[in-house]
Structures are given as C-alpha cells and as structure tokens.
Amino acid sequence: MLSKNNKKAWLYLLPALILLLLFMVYPLIDVFIYSFEEGYNSASGVFFGYGGYNYSYVLHDPYFLQAVRNTFIIVIITVPLSTAFALLISLGLSSIKKLKELYQTVFFLPYVTNTLAVGLVFMILFRKTAYTDGLVNLLITFFGGETVDFIQGPYWAKMFVMCFYTIWVVLPFKILILTSALASVPQEYYNAAKIDGTSKWRTFTKITLPYISPMILYLVITGFIGAFKAYSDEVALFGTDLNGAGMNTIVGYVYDMLYGNSGGFPSYASAAAIILFAIVLTITVINLMVSGKNTANIG
C-alpha cells in the first residue's frame, strides 16, 4: 500500500514522468516496433508484416559496416586519450598558482565554441587545396615530410583529423570536471602524506587517483556514450556526404536512412538505432562491471 508520503512523492514526480513517457519511452517503443516492420512505406504508411529483414539489410549494408568501424575507431582512440590528456592538464592547472583562472578560462573556451566554427578552423588548418597546402602541411614540409590532404585524402589521414578534432572538442568538459575533482581532495590527505614522506608519484597513485576515480569513471562512461553518438563533428569536418567521404558514423547512417539522399527508410534507420542502443548498453555495463572493482569507495 502506498503511504501518504509516497503518494506525494509520485505527485511531485508526475510532470517529469509524463514528459519522459511522452518523449522518451513512447518513441523508444515506437522505434523498436518500426525496426521490425518489413517494407514500410513512409508515404502510404503500409507495410508487409513483421520480421527481422531490416536488421539483416542493415548488417549487410557496407555503408553501415563502415560506419560501425569508424565509430569504434573514434571511440577507442578518443576516450582514453582525451581522459588522459584532461587529467594531465588538470594536474598542471591545479599545481600552478599564478594566472590559474586565466588558464582555466582558456582551456574551457572550446566548450563554448560552436562545433561548426571549430570544424571550420580545423578545415583551414588541415585542408590541402589547389591554392594552399594548409598550415599543418606547411609544418610537415618544414620538417621534411610529404604533404597530405587530411580532409579529402587517405582514410588514415581523415581518421587522424577526426580523432584530433574529437579530443579537442571533448577536452574542456573533462578538464572542468577533473579540476574540481582534484580540488575536492581534502588537504589533510596531502599533509598526512607529506609527513609520512610519501613521494609525489605515490601520493598521486595512492591518494589522488583513488579519490577522483569515481569522477574518472563518470567521464569514461559519458565519453563512451558521447563518442558512440558522434555525428555533428563529422559533418563539421567532412560535410554532409559522409558515406561518400567514408567517414560516416552509426548516428550519421541513421540520419542518412531517414533524411539523406538515399533516405526515406525509417525501418532501416530504426534497426540501426536499436543496434547502436544495444552496443552502447553493452559497453556501459562492461564499464561498470570492470570499474566496480577498481573504484574506491569513498565515504
């Protein structure tokens, strides 16, 4: 039986619950149903029947497989690297005294900058055109290397720029979280460590790292999820024809299936979206299981 307090709690939760049901749960179920409707025609709204053909089609589509490969490469490279860089920069930031606020602002700037604007800057830096080799290529030739077209050239070059860009864009948020996490480590622990004659490295690995490990876990999980959902960053660098550029992602594939030039197939899009959901869910569960053992229980 519901107690009076319980009823009250549900009443307060009601507005949020209604919105969640309407805009989260219902579409989720709908997408799930769509993904099993074979031969759905978006104009007439009719379909042949239910079955797994949409999944079979998507999983055999070379564009989808390319998208999955790209997404996984981006995730596996950018999440660990960006977290590690963010940790290094945060440690640097928390150890300096002069102009600390200024540096924090500078490092946070990319976060408030428009993705497309950042993409434009990256294009200017990396693109090689008939008129100019671009700034990065100038540097490469200066050190005696061969010029590369990073935007329309070989796959590895494009992937390099893509990862570089992704790390650059996600770094500020991680720095923000980690600097505040570092600041929350009580000074007493450092004083105690100092009196015990603890080396800097041991202080870091035995005190700082365990203390901020819940935050690092949070960043890794949200980083994975965010990287799996990447799409706009790719558009910012390579334009809307991502399949043509060979740089599509899973979310990009879903979009193309819905609205792109080859679009108009909500069933295929739904199937791809459900596959993405399954991947993200699996990775997150694995993450939680692995880190559950290693994260310190602070309290």
Partner 1 sequence: MKVVLSHLTKRFPNRNKKIKTEVTAVSDFDIEIPDGKLIGLLGPSGCGKSTILNLISGLEQPSEGRVYFGDEDVTELPPEKRGIGLVFQNYALYPHLTVLQNIMFPLENLKGEEKMSKEAIRAKAVETAKLVQIEDYLDRKPSELSGGQQQRVAIARALVKRPNVLLLDEPLSNLDARLRLQTREEIKRIQKETGVTTIFVTHDQDEAMSISDYIIVMKAGILQQVGRPQDVYDDPCNLFVAKFLGVPPVNVFDGMVRNGRLFIGENDVLGVSGLKDCDVYVGVRPEGYLVEEDGLLKCGLRSVEVQGRDTSIIATNAAAEGGSFRAIVIAEYAPDPKADKVNLNIKPNKVYLFDRDTEERISCSVSR
Does the protein bind partner 1 through residue 102 (CB under 8 A)? no
Does the protein bind partner 1 through residue 290 (CB under 8 A)? no
Taking the least distance from each CB to partner 1, the nearer of 7 and 202 is 202
Q: With contacts defined by CB under 8 A, name the span among 10-18, 101-109, 127-135, 201-209 that binds partner 1.
A: 201-209
Rounded to a whole number of angstroms, the minimum distance from the CB of residue 87 to partner 1 is 18
Q: How many of the chain's residues bind partner 1 (CB under 8 A)?
A: 20
Does the protein bind partner 1 through residue 211 (CB under 8 A)? yes
Identify whether the C-beta of residue 160 lies closer than 8 Å to the C-beta of residue 238.
Answer: no
Rounded to a whole number of angstroms, the minimum distance from the CB of residue 208 to partner 1 is 11
How far is C-alpha 255 from the chain's CA centre? 17
Distance CA 154, CA 112 (A): 31
Distance CA 26, CA 34 (A): 12
Does the protein bind partner 1 through residue 297 (CB under 8 A)? yes
Identify whether the C-beta of residue 268 lies closer than 8 Å to the C-beta of residue 54.
Answer: yes
Residue with tokens 């070059």: 157
Q: With contacts defined by CB under 8 A, name the span among 114-122, 162-170, 193-201, 254-262 that binds partner 1.
A: 193-201
Distance CA 32, CA 178 (A): 37
Does the protein bind partner 1 through residue 192 (CB under 8 A)? yes
Taking the least distance from each CB to partner 1, the nearer of 206 and 229 is 206
Does the protein bind partner 1 through residue 198 (CB under 8 A)? yes
Nearest to 90 by CA among 180, 167, 169, 163: 180
Do the bridges between strand 49-50 and strand 37-38 make them parallel or antiparallel, or are there none, so unpaired? Answer: antiparallel
Q: Among 202, 282, 285, 288, which residue sits at the site for partner 1 (rule: CB under 8 A)?
A: 202
Q: Among 11, 102, 109, 195, which residue sits at the site for partner 1 (rule: CB under 8 A)?
A: 195
Q: Among 140, 207, 217, 258, which residue sits at the site for partner 1 (rule: CB under 8 A)?
A: 207
Residues 6 or more apart whose Cβ sits within 8 Å of residue 100: 93
Does the protein bind partner 1 through residue 47 (CB under 8 A)? no
Question: Is the CA virtual torsion 168, 169, 172, 175 positive or negative?
Answer: negative
Nearest to 155 by CA among 278, 69, 268, 222: 69
How far is C-alpha 121 from the chain's CA centre? 20
Eight-state DSSP code of residue 136: H
Tokens of 190: 């450092």
Taking the least distance from each CB to partner 1, the nearer of 171 and 182 is 182
Rounded to a whole number of angstroms, the minimum distance from the CB of residue 213 to partner 1 is 8
Interface positions, 4-33, toward partner 1 (CB under 8 A): none
Does the protein bind partner 1 through residue 206 (CB under 8 A)? yes
Q: Among 194, 205, 278, 282, which residue sits at the site for partner 1 (rule: CB under 8 A)?
A: 194
Does the protein bind partner 1 through residue 186 (CB under 8 A)? yes
Q: Residue 36: phi, psi to the nearest 5?
A: -105, 0
- Residues within the interface to partner 1 (CB under 8 A): 186, 188-189, 191-192, 194-199, 202, 206-207, 210-211, 296-299
